Structure 1
Amino acid sequence: MLLKPPPATNQFSGFLKLYLDETGRERRLSLTTRDTARSRLRRFFEWLASRRASLEDVKMEDIDAYLDLKRQSCNSRTISSEAAMLQDFFRAANRHGWCSNNFHQRVIRPRLSRPRYVGNRLRWDDVRKLLASLKGNASCDLRARAMILLCALYGLRSSEVARLRLDSFDWEEGTFSLTRAKRGRGQCYPVLPELRDSVMEYLHRGRPQCDDRALFLSLAIPHRPVCPALVSYIVRSRISGLGLMASPAGAHALRHACATELLRTGSSLHEIADFLGHRNLRTVSCYVRHDEAALRRVSLFQMEVTVA
């Protein structure tokens, strides 16, 4: 009764599989991104199956009608994501010759206003308060402390924390390794004393006894690996419990605070990018753009060079 029924197939299922294989093998998109693409495109093809017999028969009116249908129950940000997913699929379909229509050039995505952050990001002093508050001896407290240390000291994403396994840690070498959620690149970190003590205490006193090799497990029976959403929920609940104002307040808030603290203590953008697992410095800039003191030092340095 607990087994999920296999997904229904239609005339478009083969193209969906080829597209997902390409995104994983050649583009190396994260598993989360591919799962999102699979669910969204599957819903689109299930809706399309009764209207068209093949991809060559698809018309632009079909895509517009589907997006209009989604607008009845989804906000503009979701519609923009749906349109972007359709754009990417039909770009691949045109490249491989699955269809001859350039739909990716004609799909209209809603214009979204860029969110404005007005100083409600976590500061490093807030992170210190958060870490100091994690003193409970219950299983949930021991698990939360280990998770929050990984997010705060190493800037890990919630999905990366959730995927850690017992054999990710090499206690003799004092390191742990992981596979980055985006692009799948492996990375190795030294185990800081605070993390070592926290993880060991969780393993001996808080982790349920079961055969699963995942590091973090659910506390309720049946014990199973935690999901990324639970990691973010645990971090968010601990932050809000202290009355701290942060948006977002999940694991990504600690990742941003970690990047900002690295910038404040003198790390370069290249070093921060390597530490956080980014390849593009433009991606790192979204973490450090709120450090006004660092930006002021950069502007003064540029002015001195110009004047000299």
Structure 2
Amino acid sequence: MEEKKRPLTELIDMARSEMKLLNYRQSTIYSYQAVWKKFLLYTQNQTNEQYFSEKLGDSFLNDCYDCLNESNLKLLKSVRHAIRAIRVLGDYQMHNIILRSKCHNDELWLSSYGDIIDKFKEYLSQRTLSEGSMNRILHSLKSFFKFLYEQNITSCSTITSANISRYSKTLLGYSKKTLAVQMYSLRTFFKFLFLEGFHNEDLSIVVPKIRFVRRQHIPSTWTKEETEKILFSVDRGHPCGKRDYAILLLLTRLGLRESDVLNLKLDDIKWELNCIELCQTKTSRNLTLPLLKDVGWAIIEYLKQGRPITNEPFVFVKQVYPYNKMTDCYMICKKYIQLAEIKKPLGHQKGPHSFRHSLASRLLEKDIPLEMITEVLGHSNTNSTTDYLKIDIKNLIQCALDPEEVLKNE
């Protein structure tokens, strides 16, 4: 969209009026005005420029707030505040609205909507949604609740279609995927308000619909040699290394999801039966997998020589007190991929799920039936597993057409 330039003084007046309309706190408006006043003086003394432009805004921030200094961006609140004040001018000039900023202080709006959020959580849990889906919906609604708080709307029963329309406009600039999630979350929330009697209108029907077509992509994989190189890079003489090695084996040998590795409990390992029995976090379906010899010995070595003494029921815990359950596998994977010095093209996934893709790829190469791979990966049906057919190069080659034969038959 082409930037329509406005005189700086006029733009500041319009942005200030919009902030008042959006019920920004007076203290916030005053602090933005202080930055804008400094901006006006800068333009008069340095450039004599009368119109706002992104380039002019960047020059001001770099000259007056040293924004090129990365440490300032991380440490000084005043720098981040100045960037936001100039961003408001740029957004208003481009779109005639003030776009949303990230919601930092949850306590303010939680005090107004905490009770209704708790009831909404109960409603979602009754729909048998996975914990991940529930968290995505609730996280998406954070900015909406902050918007309501800024509008002094403290009761969900007073929300109108006009409020929804104005909020939707503030999301301009987000990706279609993000917008689709936001609108889906809003529709779910308003359907809840209507069905549970918290609003007398079904506002879910006025929430904009975003047409988002999921792009098909080729899953990222690792060869058998690359996987072994990653495992070999782990220092198993250190307690952290013993833990990380066991985690990597569960990811690479059994293809477990990250959430299932992190939520794996001591009781899930059936030593006498040589198997692992767990309830999958994503699907809530039970899954039984064989406890492979190398996986079992790695877990035993970690439990005996690496795991801190703790009452946590989960197998994998942090190595620093208070030894809580681990919450992330991504950094572990990234660490050992870097140590293994494996070079992959830009965009290649380096997270835990890439090892799940790799296991599926190797099983396909061995001509293991799709139904059996579905069982190993814990999918509810073969539809999810068919995504991996795109990486079965050996069998895809057999499907290739000879152009000459095609042309001959036309």
TM tier, shorter chain?
Answer: 0.7 to 0.9
Deviation by residue 1:96-133 (Cα, 9 ceiling, x = unmatched): 5654335356423264672644x853233322332333
Query: RMSD over aligned Cα, in angstroms?
Result: 3.0
- Seen in structure 2, the aligned counterparts of structure 1 residues 173 and 222 have a Cα distance that, compared at 3 Å, is same
Alignment pair present for 1:23 and 2:124: yes
Moved over 6 A (4+): 4-7
Q: What residue ranges of structure 2 are gaps of 5+ in the alignment?
A: 1-105, 402-410
- Structure 1 length normalisation: TM-score? 0.81
- SS state of the match for residue 22, structure 1? helix
Residue pairs, 1:111-190, within 5 angstroms: 111=212, 114=215, 116-117=217-218, 121-134=221-234, 136-190=236-290
| Number of the residue aligned with 1:256 | 357
- SS state of the match for residue 288, structure 2? strand
Could you tell me which amino acid in structure 1 is paired with residue 357 of structure 2?
Answer: H
Alignment pair present for 1:59 and 2:163: no
| Number of the residue aligned with 2:204 | 103
- Seen in structure 2, the aligned counterparts of structure 1 residues 115 and 242 have a Cα distance that, compared at 3 Å, is farther
- SS state of the match for residue 170, structure 2? helix
Q: Are the aligned partners of 2:314 and 2:325 in contact in 1 as well (CA < 8 Å)?
A: yes
Q: Are the aligned partners of 1:60 and 1:103 in contact in 2 as well (CA < 8 Å)?
A: no
Of residues 206-215 and 129-138 in structure 1, the stretch that sits farther from structure 2 once superposed is 129-138
Task: Identify the match of residue 8 of structure 1 among 103, 110, 129.
Answer: 110
CA positional deviation for 1:250: 0.7
Count of equivalent residues: 291
CA positional deviation for 1:40: 2.8
CA distance in structure 2 between the partners assigned to 1:104 and 1:277 by the alignment: 36
- Seen in structure 2, the aligned counterparts of structure 1 residues 174 and 5 have a Cα distance that, compared at 3 Å, is farther
Of residues 35-44 and 270-279 in structure 1, the stretch that sits farther from structure 2 once superposed is 35-44
| Number of the residue aligned with 2:296 | 196
- Seen in structure 2, the aligned counterparts of structure 1 residues 232 and 76 have a Cα distance that, compared at 3 Å, is same
- SS state of the match for residue 248, structure 1? coil
Q: Are the aligned partners of 2:275 and 2:288 in contact in 1 as well (CA < 8 Å)?
A: yes
| Number of the residue aligned with 1:304 | none
Q: What residue ranges of structure 1 are gaps of 5+ in the alignment?
A: 301-308
Q: Are the aligned partners of 2:333 and 2:351 in contact in 1 as well (CA < 8 Å)?
A: yes
Alignment pair present for 1:79 and 2:205: no
Q: Are the aligned partners of 1:146 and 1:198 in contact in 2 as well (CA < 8 Å)?
A: yes
Residue pairs, 1:289-308, within 5 angstroms: 289-297=390-398
- Seen in structure 2, the aligned counterparts of structure 1 residues 290 and 183 have a Cα distance that, compared at 3 Å, is same
Residue identity (%):
22
CA distance in structure 2 between the partners assigned to 1:299 and 1:220 by the alignment: 54
Structure possessing the higher radius of gyration over alpha carbons? 2
- Seen in structure 2, the aligned counterparts of structure 1 residues 91 and 273 have a Cα distance that, compared at 3 Å, is farther
Could you tell me which amino acid in structure 2 is paired with residue 237 of structure 1?
Answer: K
Could you tell me which amino acid in structure 2 is paired with residue 197 of structure 1?
Answer: W
CA distance in structure 1 between the partners assigned to 2:178 and 2:321 by the alignment: 34
- Seen in structure 2, the aligned counterparts of structure 1 residues 110 and 44 have a Cα distance that, compared at 3 Å, is same
Alignment pair present for 1:211 and 2:311: yes
| Number of the residue aligned with 1:41 | 141
- SS state of the match for residue 360, structure 2? helix
